[in-house]
Structures are given as C-alpha cells and as structure tokens.
C-alpha cells in the first residue's frame, strides 16, 4: 500500500511582529536578524488564542482540501512542545472541536522534528491496514515560552499550525523513504529552562548544518533516486544558512526550496507543515514532483522523508 498526503492546511495568527518592532524591545537590528537568520517578521498569537485553536483551524483546512469528513478520521496525531495544558492533549481537544468522534488521539513530542515523527508514525498505521485516514498536525505557540528580553532567542520564533491528512494514494506516489534519529547527549544545547526556551546557538547550528544535508541525501538514496532527481526541498524553517546547506548538498536551484522562514520565523514542529501547505496552494509543488522534507530539533532529534507528490 502506498501512503501519502491527500490534503494540506495551515493557519498563522494575524498579528505580525517585524524585526523593526523587536529593535524597540531588545538590543538588535533588522540587518543583524536578516543576515544571520533570513527572518524578516513572525506571527504571534494573541493571549486569547492557544495552541489547540491554531491546530483546529489548520485541521479544518486540511480536511476540506482532502475532501474527508471529520467522522472519517481514524487517528489524530499532534506534534507540539507547547500544549494548552499537560493534559488533556491538544489532539483530544481538536478531536472534540472537529467532531471526529471515532478517532483515537495522541500528542507527540520531538520538538522541531515532531512533524516528521508524526508523519512516519501515521504511515505505519495506514500501511498495516489498521487505520485509513490520519490527521497529522504540527503546531506551536512558542511565544508563551519565549523570553522577550533575550535577544538571542526572541528574534527567532513564531506561532502557527500546519496539518495534513494521510491516506492511501496511487502506487508509486506518497512517502517513499524516511529517516528518524536522535542524540540525547545534545539535549543540553536546546531545552526549556523553567519557563523559557534556552539555546546554545553555536552548537545547534553545527549540528544542524551537518545533519540536515546528510539526512536529505540519505532519504533520496533510500528511495532509489539521485540528488539530481529532487524537484523540491522543504527544510525546517529555522535559519536560512542551515537551509542553504541542505539545498547546496542536494545541488538544487534556490527557487526549488521553501523559504517561509522570512515571513514566519521558526515555528518549530509547525514549520515544515506550514511551508508544505503554502507551496502546494501556490503551485510550487506539482503532481509527480519528488519532494524532500527534512527537519531537526531539540532532543537533539532529526527526521527526513522523500515523497512522490500526488494522490
């Protein structure tokens, strides 16, 4: 059985916070942020909107795009490190809001790699015939664990949600290969310290510029293709320099890589899902394209997959 994406959706908050806005809060500059990260602005959710609200809105869009009713969803997997509460899970909250009464529901935590872990987990359930339609959501409200007085981290992050519906697709399409990994010894480089996110930027950068390109090449080769066969790359939208390292390793043109980081910043587990949804809708990803998704995150964790786009 071939398993692939049959619907995409995303949601980002309306409130835009630019680099110039941050200049008024901390000792930084638009030029410094842009040249080092590629970020120009980010979206921040209002206090009245929580993680589950964004997840719900992205999910509604994905279900509509897939032409699947909520009652036809068998499982909901939500990747997040910023749930509304420790429990009930965000997945249970959106199961109720969607009216997906027959769906099992669980949250998954792998930081920025969470969406990749969720996709691969969903694939196994469908391949084995246990479930038919699975909703996978990557969502974060990072603004609530961001220290807005720390200029090294507050410039990086934003809020948002991306969702996909996975199901059976035409043979030869869908997810062709994947890779998941973790290195717990690097957990000290990116973690939540009491109330706020804390990061050793230098160490995380070194890890990411090595792992993202390596994983990208690995999944292409596992799928039986060469780097030259890749049509589109969607890396985790963390830092343009890290993303460029993966693109250059694959040897693909700039216009064949998703770059929503400049508009939304790093939205952690939501970033790949948002970029995918946007670029499908704007026509950058076409039927039969060989697409690589790759991410890394706290843990340290990483994940990648190659897929042939189409239903």
Distances (CA, A) of 302 to 52, 97, 242: 24, 31, 14
Contact 201, 30 (CB under 8 A): no
255 is catalytic: no
Instruction: Catalytic residue, from 92, 133, 236, 239: name it.
Output: 236
Strand partners, 296: 302
Residues shown for the chain: 311
Instruction: Catalytic residue, from 61, 133, 239, 266: name it.
Output: 266
Instruction: Catalytic residue, from 19, 61, 112, 239: name it.
Output: 112
Residue ranges of the alpha helices (H) in the chain? 19-23, 30-37, 51-66, 90-98, 114-127, 201-222, 240-250, 261-264, 271-281
Quick one: DSSP state of residue 26? S
C-alpha to C-alpha distance for 99 and 94, rounded to whole angstroms: 8
Contact 267, 114 (CB under 8 A): no
Q: How far apart are the first and last CA of the chain?
A: 13
Residue 59: which residues within 8 A CB-CB, separation 6 or more? 9, 76, 94, 98, 135, 137, 163
Helix H or strand E segment including 192: strand 190-193
DSSP-assigned letters across all residues of 200-216: -HHHHHHHHHHHHHHHH
C-alpha to C-alpha distance for 39 and 262, rounded to whole angstroms: 4
Distances (CA, A) of 146 to 52, 75, 187: 18, 31, 18
Contact 246, 212 (CB under 8 A): yes
Catalytic residues: 112, 236, 266
């Amino acid at each position: 059985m071939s398993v692939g994406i049959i619907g995409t959706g995303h949601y980002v908050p309306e409130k835009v916070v630019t680099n110039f806005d941050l200049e008024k809060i901390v000792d930084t500059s638009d030029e410094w942020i842009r040249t080092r990260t590629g970020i120009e602005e980010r979206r921040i959710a209002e206090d009245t909107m929580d993680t589950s609200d964004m997840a719900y809105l992205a999910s509604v869009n994905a279900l509509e795009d897939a032409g699947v009713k909520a009652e036809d969803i068998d499982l909901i997997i939500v990747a997040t490190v910023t749930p509304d509460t420790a429990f009930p899970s965000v997945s249970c909250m959106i199961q109720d809001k969607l009216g997906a009464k027959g769906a099992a529901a669980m949250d998954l935590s792998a930081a920025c790699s969470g969406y990749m872990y969720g996709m691969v987990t969903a694939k196994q359930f469908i391949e084995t015939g246990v479930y038919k339609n699975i909703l996978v959501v990557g969502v974060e409200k990072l603004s609530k664990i961001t220290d807005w007085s720390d200029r090294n981290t507050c410039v990086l992050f934003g809020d948002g949600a991306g969702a996909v519906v996975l199901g059976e697709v035409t043979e030869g399409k869908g997810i062709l290969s994947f890779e998941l990994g973790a290195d717990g010894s690097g957990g000290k480089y990116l973690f939540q310290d009491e109330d706020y996110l804390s990061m050793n930027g230098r160490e995380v950068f070194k890890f990411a510029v090595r792992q993202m390109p390596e994983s990208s090449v690995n999944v292409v080769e596992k799928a039986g293709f060469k780097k030259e066969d890749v049509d589109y790359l969607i890396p985790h939208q963390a830092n343009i320099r890290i993303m460029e390292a993966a693109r250059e390793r694959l040897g693909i043109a700039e216009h064949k890589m998703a770059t929503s980081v400049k508009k939304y910043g790093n939205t952690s587990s939501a970033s790949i899902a948002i970029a995918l949804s946007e670029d499908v809708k704007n026509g950058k990803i076409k039927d039969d394209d060989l697409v690589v998704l790759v991410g890394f995150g706290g843990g340290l964790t990483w994940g990648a997959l190659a897929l042939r786009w189409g239903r």
